Amino acid sequence: MALSINDIIATAVKSASGKVQIPADIQNQILGGLSDSILGSLTQTATKAGGLDQLKDLFSGKVNPANSTVTALASSMFSQNVLGKLNLDKALSGALAGLVPTSMTKLSGLIKDQDGDGDVDINDILITLKGGAGKGLLGAAAGILGSFLKK
């Protein structure tokens, strides 16, 4: 079964969130907001000049996810759109904000060499986000754009 970009992000978020005690009454809001912030950051980055290179650098390991502008954007979106509206204490807000770089690191680890050329490049990122090898670059790009436009 092929995973969508939302599934891949949700897997990374769920894995990262295991280290933070999230109150049950806001868990879905936090995890959903975190996923939405990461997807929003990836989308905004992909559509700006030089953005695909930033994504390639992030997913290939050339840039540490904690220091990435993509992660910084996701953190800003999460803090503003989710944490800022929940009125949580500082300790919990800080722990939850820390989930963004952890999730991005986990997400980076999910992107692998899909086309067998020995490195992680934009083609591998697109194939992974589309749902696996064998889909081709054009099919992958169409699938990703479709995922972004549905959001």
Cβ distance 122 to 52 under 8 Å?
yes
Tens of pLDDT along 2-41?
Answer: 556 677 777 777 877 777 888 889 888 998 999 899 989 9
CA–CA dist 101, 98 (Å, integer): 6
Tens of pLDDT along 57-77?
Answer: 888 788 999 899 999 999 999
pLDDT at 129: 58
pLDDT at residue 107 above 70?
A: yes
DSSP symbols for the chain: -PPPHHHHHHHHHHHHHTTS---GGGHHHHHHHHHHHHHHHHHHHHTSTTHHHHHHHHHHTSS-GGG-HHHHHHHHHHIIIIIHHH---HHHHHHHHTHHHHHHHHHHHH----SSSSS--HHHHHHHHHTSTTS-HHHHHHHHHHHHHH-
Which amino acid is it at 111? Answer: I
Q: Packing angle between helix 69-78 and helix 51-60, nearest 10 degrees?
A: 100
Mean of all residue pLDDT scores within the chain? 78
Q: For residues 77-94, give the mean pLDDT.
A: 91
pLDDT at 134: 45
Q: Which residues contact 104 (CB under 8 A, 6 or more apart)?
A: 12, 38, 58, 65, 66, 68, 70, 71, 74
pLDDT at 126: 66
pLDDT at residue 124 above 80?
A: no
